[in-house]
């Protein structure tokens, strides 16, 4: 259901509206406008994090079409309404606020996912199971590194996690960048790739 608060010119969307668009494979930008830490504590699976503090910096690259349906969600603290006002001011024409925020999403039967980049992590785990990607213990990888094995270690975690702790000589290639960057990082098809 879609409703509108005429006083604030804010359009609201509910769980059924978002769910139907997702099930019908209709385009939607479901955006959690909280900062990354609160986003990581629980968000809808397909909600991308675009915090209010970075909205003007990132909106044009993450939302290149101004007529895309955008649904903004927060924890009910008013961030979504502020984001809707800013996006509308930037020329976006299909901006909605998810009424009731994260609590209403859960109350309506929507699942919340903890952490960030959940779809890409799930995809990686599925790929590992289906393709029977071999796993190696840390001791084996260290031995290969010590022996100068022809290998490249790529770290697909977020860059801030990589900066905190990583395997020496590893290369930071967050998430889906892996698909784009692996050919340049590993030009020899016989080189071992450790992810």
Query: pLDDT (tens digit, 9 = 90+) per residue, 2-36?
Result: 455 544 478 999 999 999 999 999 999 999 999 98
The verdict on residue 126 lying in a domain is: no
Residues 146 and 65 in one domain: no
Task: Provide the mean pLDDT of the chain.
Answer: 87
* 169 contact partners, CB below 8 Å, separation of at least 6: 145, 153
Residue 41, pLDDT score: 84
Mean pLDDT of the region 169-192: 86
Residues 112 and 137 in one domain: no
Residues 94 and 37 in one domain: yes
What is residue 118's three-state secondary structure? helix
* Beta carbons of 42 and 35 less than 8 angstroms apart: no
Residues 160 and 92 in one domain: no
**Total domains in the fold of the chain:** 2
pTM of the model: 0.63
Q: Which of 116, 149, 171 is the last residue of a domain?
A: 116
Query: In degrees rounded to 5, what are phi and psi of residue 173?
Result: -140, 80
Binned at pLDDT 50, 70 and 90, residue 179 comes out as confident
CATH number at residue 150: 3.40.250.10
- Burial label, 108 (beta-carbon count in 10 A; 0-12, 13-18, 19+): middle
Domain hosting 85: range is 2-116
């Amino acid at each position: 259901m879609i409703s509108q608060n005429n006083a604030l010119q804010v359009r609201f969307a509910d769980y059924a509206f978002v769910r139907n668009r997702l099930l019908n494979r209709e385009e939607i930008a479901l955006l959690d406008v909280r900062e990354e830490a609160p986003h990581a504590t629980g968000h809808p699976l397909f909600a991308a994090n675009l915090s209010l503090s970075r909205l003007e910096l990132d909106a044009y690259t993450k939302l290149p079409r101004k007529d895309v349906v955008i649904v903004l969600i927060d924890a009910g603290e008013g961030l979504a309404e502020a984001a809707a006002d800013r996006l509308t001011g930037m020329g976006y024409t299909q901006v909605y606020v998810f009424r009731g925020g994260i609590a209403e999403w859960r109350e309506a039967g929507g699942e919340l996912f903890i952490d960030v980049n959940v779809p890409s992590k799930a995809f990686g785990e599925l790929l590992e199971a289906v393709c029977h990607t071999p796993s190696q213990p840390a001791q084996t990888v260290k031995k290969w590194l010590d022996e100068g094995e022809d290998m490249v270690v790529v770290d697909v975690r977020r860059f801030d996690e990589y900066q905190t702790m990583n395997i020496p000589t590893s290369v930071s290639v967050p998430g889906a960048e892996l698909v784009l960057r692996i050919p340049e990082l590993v030009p020899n098809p016989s080189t071992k790739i450790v992810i």
